[in-house]
Amino acid sequence: MPGITSILDDVRNNELPEDSFKLWLPSEISAEDRDTWCLPNITFLEFRFRYAQADDSLAELRRLLRLSQGLRDQNAKHPSHSQKNVSRSQGLLEGFKARIQRNVARYSCARCRA
């Protein structure tokens, strides 16, 4: 954004750019600054970005839920009696749960800012 350099000067330090730079979107600055520095339709573009992000998160969430349900159904249909297979299945389910939680957080973030 054209006028954001004054804010960046206050934030910059000697860290690596990927660690210290924040993506400044119009919703993260005050309405007065947004009117002063931003292009006229930039808030609508940010809304479309957030909407697409939420839509992608929901699609990925549905996919992960279908996969984890299929894995649970497969485990119920063919129960394993070896500890190795049970541990492997539990590890896979825990991995799916972690990925599901990340997608839920990503969706929630996109939804609250849209």
Burial state string for 39-62 with b = 16 or more CB within 10 A and e = fewer than 16: eeeeeeebeeebeebbeebbebbe
Single pTM value for the model: 0.66
pLDDT tens by residue, 62-105: 999 999 999 888 888 877 778 877 788 888 889 999 999 999 99
pLDDT tens by residue, 18-69: 566 666 778 777 888 777 877 888 888 889 999 999 999 999 999 999 999 9
Question: What pLDDT score does 12 carry?
Answer: 56
